[in-house]
Amino acid sequence: LGKQDYKKTRPMLRATRLKAEAKKTALGVKEVALVLAAILVFLLSFYAFFYLNISNEVDLDPDPDEN
């Protein structure tokens, strides 16, 4: 609180302080978006890893000597 607040009443000072504290501790949209993006990247990489493992194990070419 600065020197300009000396004329404010006690409840006004308290409200100003509470607003400043709430602003300091609130989660921003940017932080939430970064967390969601990180989770999405993790899930996509997990999915891609298993997709590639399974697709490499499957033999798509039938045995040419069969017929």
pTM: 0.47
Using alpha carbons, list the distances in angstroms from residue 29 to 18, 19, 35, 62.
Answer: 21, 18, 10, 53
Instruction: For residue 49, give the H/E element and its range.
Output: helix 29-57
Tell me the per-residue pLDDT of 1-55, one tens digit each, with 9 for 90 and over: 556 656 667 788 888 888 888 777 667 778 888 999 999 999 999 999 988 888 7
Q: Bigger pLDDT: 66 or 31? A: 31
Q: What is the pLDDT of residue 63?
A: 59
CB atoms within 10 A of CB 15: 12
- 13 Cβ contact partners less than 8 Å away, ≥ 6 residues apart: 1, 5
Q: Bigger pLDDT: 60 or 29? A: 29
